[in-house]
Amino acid sequence: MSIQWFPGHMNAAKKQAAQAMEKIDMVVEVLDARVPQASSNPMIAQMRLHRQRPCLKILNKTDLADPTATSEWLDFYNKQKDVHAVALSCKKPADVAKIAGWCLKIAPHRGTPLKPLRIMIMGIPNVGKSTLMNALLKKRVAKVGDEPAVTKTQQRLYLGNNMVLIDTPGLMWPKIEHPSDGLMLAASHAIGSNALIEEEVATFLADVLLVRYPQLLAARYGFAVDVMDGVAVVEGIAKKRGFRLKGGDADFEKAAHTLLQDYRSGALGRISLETPLSREHLLATYQPAPSLGEVQEDEEE
C-alpha cells in the first residue's frame, strides 16, 4: 500500500513558505519524535538550504517516544551543519519556555527591538505546531485539532518586541518516496483518514511492533505474540476485546482502530517506529517499484 496525501491548499502553502523563507532568519521544524525522519518534509530542507537558513529541529511528543531512540536521533541531527535538535513535549510549558533561548543562540545577530529575530515554524500536519504556537504566545492563536491539516493559512505573530513568528500550515510533499514512510505517518495520524485504509495501516503497525516492542503488545492485549504476524495481532485484539460483527466474525476494522488509537495516545507505551539505524537500512535496501513503462518493456522482452 502506497499512501499519498497532498490536499490542494498545500500547494499554495508551499509557494507562500518559499517566498517567506527569503525574509526570515531561521526555521523551527517540528517533528514527531516517534518518526522523526519520516515526518521531516524534504521540501523544508530544500527551501531552507537554498536560503542558507539555520534550523532548530524540535522532536515533539517525546513523552510518547522511546527515549533510547530519541537520544539516537538527537545525536544524528546535531551532527548536521546548521542544525540544532532538541526533544520536548509542546504540552509542557517549561519545555516550550526554553525555545526562545535556543533560537537566540542559533541566530545571535538578531533578537533586538530594531532587529527582531524572524522565525518560521514549519512541519507536516498534526506534529504539534499549533500547540507549540499557543504555548509560546501563552494564548490561543492557532486552531488545535485531532485531524491533520487544521491550519490552512500563514500567520505572522509577535513574541514580545524581539521575535516575530511566522506559523505555516502543515505541509506534506507531493510524493512520499518510501511506502513505509507513508504508513508510519498514517499510523501516527499525520495523514488525513480519507487517504488511508485503517486495517492496512494497523497491520503494518502491528508488524513493526512485533519486531521492536512485542512485550508491549503482549502486556496491553493479554495474549502471546511470539508466533503471530500483523494480521493475527489485529485479529487477536478483536477476539480479546469481543469485537464481533453480526454473524460472529471478528470486527477487524474496530480492532484496527483500537490498535492505532492505543499507539497514538501512548496507551501501548513509549514507542518509536524508526531509528537512525533502521533508516540507514531502509535507504540501503530500498528498491522503488518499477514504472508502468518498465513493466511493459519487461513483458515485451
Res 217 pLDDT > 90: yes
CATH of the domain spanning 197-291: 1.10.1580.10
Sign of CA dihedral 94, 111, 80, 21: positive
Q: Could you report the per-residue pLDDT of 244-290, keeping only the tens digit for each?
A: 998 889 999 999 999 999 999 999 999 999 999 999 999 998 877 66
Res 142 pLDDT > 90: no
Confidence of residue 8 (pLDDT cuts 50, 70, 90): low
Res 137 pLDDT > 90: no
Q: Higher-confidence residue: 177 or 148?
A: 177
Give me the residue spans of the domains in the chain: 8-167, 197-291
Q: Could you report the per-residue pLDDT of 67-122, keeping only the tens digit for each?
A: 999 999 999 999 999 999 999 999 898 999 999 999 999 999 999 989 999 999 99
Q: 8-167: CATH homologous superfamily? A: P-loop containing nucleotide triphosphate hydrolases (3.40.50.300)
Percent of the chain past pLDDT 70, that is, above it, reads: 88
